[in-house]
Amino acid sequence: MNTNLVDVRGVTKDFDNGKITVNALRGLDLAIHEGDFLAIVGPSGSGKTTLLNLIGALDIPTSGDVHLFGHDLTAMSRKRRAGLRLTSLGFVFQAYNLIPVLTALENVKFVLELQGVDGGRHERAMSTLEDLSLGELANRRPNEMSGGQQQRVAVARAIVSRPRLVLADEPTANLDSENSEALLIMMRELRDEHGMTFVFSTHDPLVMAHATRVVTLLDGRVVSDEVKNAGEAAGGAN
């Protein structure tokens, strides 16, 4: 019985553009546990985004395997992977990926519509935006918002349905320290209250300070895995 939320075993990922092959991941092992508030750090190009895409079932490894909620992603059909993403995962991409023709509120509501949530979509989307201090921007489209505001809409979209696992690629990259801190505290509350698991890729010391665990990548491998003592993470009550 596999009790890890995510199990990455012996994973390699090569990108081949015809001329050169980039070995983005080179034999990577990582187990993620329910309730982890995990920061993945490492220099640019070390494989953080590649790893998040594999965990999030957006891509498949060249070799090795990835288990998500006990399911072997490499053995799963594209359709089942898409279903799993929709029901159980929230993503915040490095390049927000908001839908340009929809307002902030519509972008967030869209997730609930896709999931077939019936009642209270408007209220849920609105209250999530308000939690992120975006209530007044609900009717703006992405091109009418700053980078940091779009990033927070992307976070609202990722968490509105309370997915079991949230994957966030540099979620604070465009935020000032005040907004970053507020975002991290809110996510920690979601983790503490709903048992949600968060995995961030980041260069931000503030995210590392709030994390309960910090995994460092170098050249496509894990070179350190530090679990913090209870209470050591900033703002952590447990």
Binding site for Mg ion (CB under 5 A): 48-49
- 231 makes contact, choosing from ligand ATP, Mg ion, none, with CB < 5 to 8 Å by partner type, with none
Could you say whether residue 163 binds ligand ATP (CB under 6 A)? no
- Whole-angstrom distance, CA of residue 98 vs CA of residue 111: 11
Q: Does 48 bind ligand ATP (CB under 6 A)?
A: yes
Choices 14-22, 26-34, 105-113, 141-149 (CB under 6 A): range interacting with ligand ATP = 14-22
Selection from ligand ATP, Mg ion, none that 24 binds (CB < 5 to 8 A by kind) is ligand ATP
The yes or no reply on residue 50 touching ligand ATP (CB under 6 A) is yes
Helix (H, G, I), strand (E, B) or coil at 237: coil
* List 41, 47, 104, 134, residue binding ligand ATP (CB under 6 A): 47
Tell me phi and psi for residue 14, to 5 degrees: -110, 140
Contacts of 165 (CB under 8 A, 6+ apart): 5, 6, 68, 69, 88, 89, 90, 196, 197, 198, 199
Of 95, 113, 74, nearest in space to 150 by CA: 95
Angle between helix 147-159 and 104-114 (nearest 10): 20
The yes or no reply on residue 46 touching ligand ATP (CB under 6 A) is: yes
Selection from 38, 53, 72 nearest residue 197 by Cα: 38
> Of the candidates 15, 72, 114, 130, which one interacts with ligand ATP according to CB under 6 A?
15
Segment interacting with ligand ATP (CB under 6 A) among 43-51, 74-82, 98-106, 206-214: 43-51
Where does this chain bind ligand ATP (CB under 6 A)?
A: 15, 17, 22, 24, 42, 44-50, 201
